[in-house]
Amino acid sequence: MNDGRRARVLRAIVEDYVATNEPVGSKALVERHGLEVSSATIRNDMVALEQEGLIAQPHTSAGRIPTDKGYRMFVDRLDEVKPLSAAEKRAIARIIERPVDIDDMLDRTVRLLASLTHQVAVVQYPMATTSQVRHLELVDIAPHRLLVVLITDSGQVEQRIVDSGMPLGETDIALLRDAFNEVLHRTRLDRVAAACDTVSVPPGLRDVAAAISEVVTDLARSTRQDRLVMAGTANLARSGRDLGAHIGPLLEAFEEQVVLLKLLTSMVAETGRVSVRIGRENPVESFASTSVVATGYGTDDSEAKLAVLGPTRMDYPTTMAAVRAVAKYVSVILSE
């Protein structure tokens, strides 16, 4: 089979399904996309794409729809993120220029992004990236209980009790304390989670170390006072058919911002680069029918992320362009 034509067929199926929310048949593909081959040839290509797991047939007599794998190939094969029109750029600049304060700017930004994409928009408050861990202390306060104390170089102190799940002697506690301080000392707060993954302890202490890592990551996040602004949740109503049974848990996840924060933190979203997670690529089950398009924004000493969330049946080129463009404008305003 012609690989180039197969890629065009997949692209056409994605574009038509996103536009119509209906399974796509071979005859429609030939008529709409000028593929210059017969419907029978396209059907053979569709069978091959289905065997590769890129498309699926929801009903015996229906056309095909893209799978998560198909969307991923479509996104990966986008030659570049299409630029917004001059009118769209002017609209972005007009809406978010001259903000009263940071709250006003982020409120405008998130509403603009939801309006441009017709999805749910999420913007994280920019936080200073210079704060670092000075020291981590572990205090034995009761059987199976440790007090975890995180101290930053700015003098902030956060503490929380963790259940060790096992009795620990002074030697064990000292070993754990030294192991964590070895990787955390002078680590930026936004990189604490990654640093905790590198902690090395004896096999018998790994479960305890994992429990401490989770608490330390949350403490670092609390110290940074991460906050999110959200808009466009009403757009989920029209996506009910796409999200199915996931819409309830998804709304609950939106209410629990810590879930969204963890999701955004886990994404590689550097300023100027757009990152896309599709369906079950997301580690949280609530987002199994959802795609997340995110990027970073900010300045040299302040950074955060903004994102758009919606069903996997998403206009990826337009959404990626909007996310990138809005992030660029907000970064410019913050640097002024």
Residues 108 and 232 in one domain: yes
Residues 101 and 173 in one domain: no
96 close to 333: Cβ distance less than 8 angstroms: yes
State whether residue 161 is helix, strand or coil: strand
Which domain-ending residue is among 167, 190, 224?
224
H/E segment holding residue 302: strand 302-311
45 Cβ neighbours under 8 A, 6+ residues apart: 1, 2, 5, 6, 9
Q: What is the CATH number of the domain that holds 303?
A: 3.30.450.40
Pairing assessment for the beta strands 290-299 and 302-311 based on DSSP bridges: antiparallel
Q: Is the sign of the CA dihedral 262, 268, 271, 275 positive or negative?
A: negative
pLDDT at 1: 46
> What's the distance, Cα to Cα, between the start and end of the chain in Å?
54
> In angstroms, rounded to a whole number, what is the distance separating the alpha carbons of residues 306 and 291?
14
Which domain-ending residue is among 224, 239, 270?
224
DSSP string computed for 197-228: TT----GGGHHHHHHHHHHHHHHHHHHHT--E
- Other CB atoms within a 10 A radius of the CB of residue 54 amount to 25
Residue 157 in any domain: the answer is yes
Residue range of the domain that includes 24: 3-76
Residue 67 in any domain: the answer is yes
333 close to 105: Cβ distance less than 8 angstroms: yes
**Which alpha helices (DSSP H) does 225-305 contain, by range?**
240-243, 247-255, 257-266
Residues 120 and 230 in one domain: yes
Determine the angle formed by the axes of helices 206-224 and 170-184, rounding to 10 degrees.
50
Structure tokens at 58: 């929801």
Residues 25 and 100 in one domain: no
pLDDT at 87: 82
Residue 261 in any domain: the answer is yes
Residues 63 and 180 in one domain: no
- Other CB atoms within a 10 A radius of the CB of residue 2 amount to 11
> In angstroms, rounded to a whole number, what is the distance separating the alpha carbons of residues 111 and 307?
12
Number of domains the chain is built from? 3
Residue 292 in any domain: the answer is yes
Q: What is the CATH number of the domain that holds 167?
A: 3.30.390
Structure tokens at 5: 């034509």
Which domain-ending residue is among 173, 205, 224?
224
Q: What is the pTM of this model?
A: 0.71
Residues 118 and 146 in one domain: no
Residue 81 in any domain: the answer is no
> In angstroms, rounded to a whole number, what is the distance separating the alpha carbons of residues 176 and 170?
10
Each of the 336 residues of the chain gets a pLDDT tens digit; together they read: 467 888 899 999 999 999 998 999 988 888 888 778 888 888 899 999 999 999 998 887 778 999 999 999 999 988 776 777 788 888 888 888 777 777 888 899 999 999 999 999 999 887 665 678 999 999 999 989 999 999 988 677 889 999 999 999 999 999 999 999 999 999 988 789 999 999 999 999 999 999 999 999 988 877 655 678 899 888 877 766 666 666 777 777 777 777 787 788 777 644 458 899 999 998 888 888 899 999 988 876 667 889 999 999 999 999 999 999 999 888 888 777
Residues 93 and 148 in one domain: no
Q: Which residues pair with 296 in a beta bridge?
A: 271, 305
187 close to 122: Cβ distance less than 8 angstroms: no
Residue 271 in any domain: the answer is yes
Cα–Cα distances (Å) from 275 to 81, 93, 96, 293, 298, in that order, read 11, 23, 23, 6, 16
> In angstroms, rounded to a whole number, what is the distance separating the alpha carbons of residues 33 and 199?
54
> How many helices, marked H, and strands, marked E, lie in the chain?
13, 11
Q: What is the CATH number of the domain that holds 38?
A: 1.10.10.10
Residues 232 and 324 in one domain: yes
Place of tokens 């065997």: 51
Residues 160 and 65 in one domain: no
215 close to 162: Cβ distance less than 8 angstroms: yes
> In angstroms, rounded to a whole number, what is the distance separating the alpha carbons of residues 121 and 310?
9
Residues 251 and 119 in one domain: yes
225 Cβ neighbours under 8 A, 6+ residues apart: 125, 127
pLDDT at 72: 95
Residues 177 and 249 in one domain: no
CB half-sphere exposure, 311, CA atoms < 13 A: 20
Residues 137 and 106 in one domain: no
215 Cβ neighbours under 8 A, 6+ residues apart: 148, 160, 162
Residue 287 in any domain: the answer is yes
